Amino acid sequence: MKYHLRKVDELGRVVLPLELRMELNLQAGDCVTMRCENGRIWLEKNRATCWLCGSPENLVELENGASVCMSCAEKILQQAAQTDEQK
Ligand SMILES: [Zn+2]
């Protein structure tokens, strides 16, 4: 495994090495998902995420092509039910 050393600039940006971008076919304008776990930052290409919280797990795709996770969908349904009960 090859390691790439890069400096973080004053705005928090890091340039992804060309070799890695080519390996993932990562183009300018592509979206990436990032998360921090056990002191490491994981970065994945073009993974669908929840429109509300950004989670990539347990997604349901909506008619408009956006996705929400089951946790957010359940919160919306609970709030809708509470709002309905108050009427
Ligand atoms: Zn969510």
CA of 28 to the centre of ligand 1 (A): 26
pLDDT of the chain along its 87 residues, tens only?
889 999 999 999 999 999 999 998 888 878 888 889 999 999 988 777 899 998 889 999 888 878 899 999 999 999 999 988 887
Give the span between the Cα atoms of 75 and 79, in whole angstroms: 6
Q: For residues 27 and 54, state if they share a domain.
A: no
Q: For residues 75 and 85, state if they share a domain.
A: yes
CA of 65 to the centre of ligand 1 (A): 15
Domain membership of residue 87 as a residue range = 48-87
Q: What is the pTM of this model?
A: 0.52
Closest residue by Cα to residue 42 from 56, 62, 27: 56
Q: For residues 3 and 42, state if they share a domain.
A: yes
Residue 80: its pLDDT value, please?
94
CA of 52 to the centre of ligand 1 (A): 5
Number of domains composing the chain:
2
Which two tokens mark 63? 């008619």
Query: Is 63 in contact with 80 (CB distance < 8 Å)?
Result: no
Residue 49: its pLDDT value, please?
84
CATH number for position 14: 2.10.260.10
The residues facing 21 across adjacent strands are none
Q: For residues 39 and 53, state if they share a domain.
A: no
Q: For residues 42 and 84, state if they share a domain.
A: no
Q: For residues 36 and 52, state if they share a domain.
A: no
